Amino acid sequence: MNKMINQLTELQGPYFHLFVGKEKEFNEIYTSMLEHKPQTRSFYVEGEKCKTYASFDIEFSTKLDLDISYFETGGGLGEALNQELEWEGWNGFVLMINHYWEFLQYENSSVRRILTDSVYEWVNGRDFDPECSTPPMPFHVVFQCDSGDEEELIEKMKSSNIEEYDIIRSEDIIQDL
């Protein structure tokens, strides 16, 4: 598991990961991230609480501790991920979303595209204003699914312009211990 946790804090792709395993194992990774990498801001979002835009707003606002009213303002999520996190002083970010199959299951992929854009904005550095530029910083997103759901979820990722990703299987992590 240490190898995976180190990978999630490095400025090296892929930046998107599909974890195939049980929710309990996914929770253990998150707990280990908090314990072993406290300088990296880790967020844990429950995908089953994000089936619709309205429930997504509530879950993301709560878990990221940011005022995200994405669908009222049109761009609140991108602003929160790209500007508000800038002032937090972390060495990187890891966003973990369990039950990826449930995540905005009945909506289009605009939120997933904003996540994709935000990840690449952070890892490439942000130089929109010379006085407020930020160096490249790791930002990884880990989606969790149960075994057997991988193929459909890979298509879901690809529909959101996520072309580079890796698949992490729980049995591989157990062997890594």
- Closest Cα to residue 25, out of 170, 176, 169? 170
Could you write out the DSSP letters of every residue in 50-61?
-SSHHHHHHHHH
CB atoms within 10 A of CB 107: 15
Say how far apart CA 144 and CA 94 lie, in whole Å. Answer: 13
Q: pLDDT digit string (tens) for 149-175?
A: 899 888 888 887 888 999 999 988 765
Say how far apart CA 150 and CA 152 lie, in whole Å. Answer: 6
> Which residue did the predictor score with more confidence, 80 or 84?
80
Which residues have a Cβ under 8 Å from the Cβ of 135 and sit 6 or more positions away? Answer: 125
Q: Is the pLDDT of residue 109 over 90?
A: no
Q: pLDDT digit string (tens) for 85-104?
A: 666 778 899 999 999 888 87
φ, ψ at 88 (rounded to 5°): -80, -25
Q: What is the CATH number of the domain that holds 160?
A: 3.40.50.300
Q: pLDDT digit string (tens) for 3-62?
A: 889 999 999 999 999 999 999 999 999 999 999 999 999 999 998 998 887 888 888 888
- Per-residue confidence at 177, pLDDT binned at 50, 70, 90? very low
Q: pLDDT digit string (tens) for 126-144?
A: 776 667 677 899 999 999 9
* Predicted local distance difference test score (pLDDT) of residue 145: 93
For the chain, how many structural domains are there in total? 1
* Predicted local distance difference test score (pLDDT) of residue 68: 63
- Per-residue confidence at 107, pLDDT binned at 50, 70, 90? low
Supply the range of the domain harboring residue 82. 2-176
